[in-house]
Amino acid sequence: MRKLYNQRYLILMSLPFVIWVILFKYVPIWGWTMAFQEYKPHRTFFEQHWVGLAHFRTLFQDPMFYEVMRNTLAMSFLSLLCGYTLPIIFALLLNELRDGLFKRFVQTVSYLPHFVSWVIVAGMFSRLLGVGGAVNEVLMSLGIVDKPVLFFAKGEYFWALVTSIDVWKEIGWNSIIFLAAIMAVDEDLYDAAAVDGAGRFRRMWHVTLPGISTVIAIMLIMSIGNLINIGFEKQFLLGNNLVKEYSEVIDLYVLNYGIKIGRYSYGTAIGIFKSVISIILLFTANRVIQRFNVEGRVL
In this structure, how many other beta carbons lie within 10 angstroms of the beta carbon of residue 110? 20
Residue ranges covered by each domain of the chain: 65-290
Residue whose C-alpha is closest to residue 50's, from 64, 33, 66: 33
Q: Are 36 and 50 in contact (CB under 8 A)?
A: yes
pLDDT at 89: 92
pLDDT at 70: 92
Residue ranges of alpha helices (H) inside the chain are: 2-6, 8-21, 54-61, 63-95, 100-111, 118-128, 134-141, 155-174, 176-183, 187-195, 200-203, 209-211, 213-225, 233-238, 244-247, 250-254, 264-290
**Residue range 65-290, CATH number:** 1.10.3720.10
pLDDT at 164: 93
Q: Are 80 and 224 in contact (CB under 8 A)?
A: yes
Contacts 24+ apart (CB under 8 A), 126-131: 126/152, 126/238, 129/161
Show pLDDT as tens, one digit a residue, over the chain (299 residues). Answer: 778 778 888 888 989 999 999 998 888 888 889 999 888 888 888 888 889 899 999 989 988 999 999 999 999 999 888 988 999 999 998 888 887 788 888 888 998 999 999 999 999 999 999 888 889 899 898 888 888 888 888 888 999 999 999 999 999 999 999 998 998 888 888 888 888 788 888 888 888 888 888 888 888 888 887 788 888 888 889 888 888 889 899 988 888 888 888 888 998 999 899 888 888 888 888 887 777 654 444 33
pLDDT at 296: 42
